[in-house]
Structures are given as structure tokens and as C-alpha cells.
Amino acid sequence: MGRSVARTTVRSGIFRMTQLDPIDRRILEILVADARIPLTELARAVGLSKTPVAQRLKRLEESGIITGYRAILSPLKLGLTHVTYVEISMSDTRQKALEEFNAAVRLIPEVEECYMIAGGYDYQLKIRSRDMAHFRQVMAERISTLPYITSTSSYVAMEAVVEQNWTAI
């Protein structure tokens, strides 16, 4: 079969910051760029035979370094290019309130990212939507009704300069 999707270019230089075995690191770099590469090709690319590469791969998966394999989609083609960051301040930052908030946030499909932040506000959400109208709807119906919110500030993204995607929680 000739795979009809080009290998995604991934800026994987970050892996150099890691204390992995160099061959494991190379395996990860290749797999992050092309999750469907056959073992045969992968082995050739790292300069070993299939047996040790299969072992290494299995170890990387079972140790949880590789958490899965995903298709990567084009937001442009899906009509989901509108990105907004929402900063949220909380009225209650005790553990129970935060956990309640976290659980509620995780139910909103438009939330692509949510971090608790140290500093001026409490949470930062990245919202992906079709357009401004869709974003406003998400804000009105899902975000502003989250528990313990006191205020929000929204910042609309005008251009995506870098969007990297190889991490999982």
C-alpha cells in the first residue's frame, strides 16, 4: 500500500532535552512524525534489525512514554480555525471548588486546553470554534456558567504561528 498522507513535519528538537537513550529518542521522533510507519521501515531508519526495535517499541508503549496514536486533522478543512484564549478568575480556590471546576471544564468539547495558572488570574482556557458567533455561544452557554467564576477576559487569536501536537496528559 502506498500511504497517501505525507509524513507530518514535527519540530521534535524538544526531545533532545530528554535523557532517553538516543535510539529510543530517534524512534520517538520518527513515530511522532508518522505513527503508521511499519516496523521494517522504522528498524531501517534507526539502523537496527526488527527484533530490537520491536522490543524497544514495546517497552516505550508499556512504560507509558507512548500513550497512543492519533490522526491529526486540519482545523482549516474542518472549519474550526477560530481560537480564543479565555482567562478566568475564581471566587473560591479551595481544592474542592477547583476539582468541581476542572470536572465541568472537561465536559466542554470546544475547550482544547485548560491550565491552572499561577499569577494574576486562575485558569487559562483555549477555545476552538467555527467563528465568533460560535465562540460567543460557547461563552454564554458553557463557560460563563462554570462554577465559582468571578470574571473572564477573552483574547482572540489572529494567526496560528506554531501549533505543536505530540503531548498527552
- Of residues 93 through 132, those in contact with DNA by CB under 7 A are none
In 3D space, the residue among 95, 116, 94 whose CA is nearest the CA of residue 105 turns out to be 116
Give the three-class secondary structure for 82: strand
Closer of 49 and 103 to its own copies (Cβ): 103
Which residue carries 537513550 as its cell? 21
The site for DNA, by CB under 7 A, has a size of: 16
Site mask for DNA (CB under 7 A), range 12-51, x = bound: -----------x--------------xxxx-----xxxxx
CA atoms of 60 and 31, how far apart (whole Å): 11
- Of DNA, its own copies, none, which one does residue 26 interact with (CB within 5 to 8 Å by kind)? none
- Of DNA, its own copies, none, which one does residue 12 interact with (CB within 5 to 8 Å by kind)? its own copies
* Residue 2 is a binding residue for its own copies (CB under 8 A): no
* Residue 113 is a binding residue for its own copies (CB under 8 A): yes
How many residues belong to the chain?
169
CA atoms of 105 and 126, how far apart (whole Å): 11
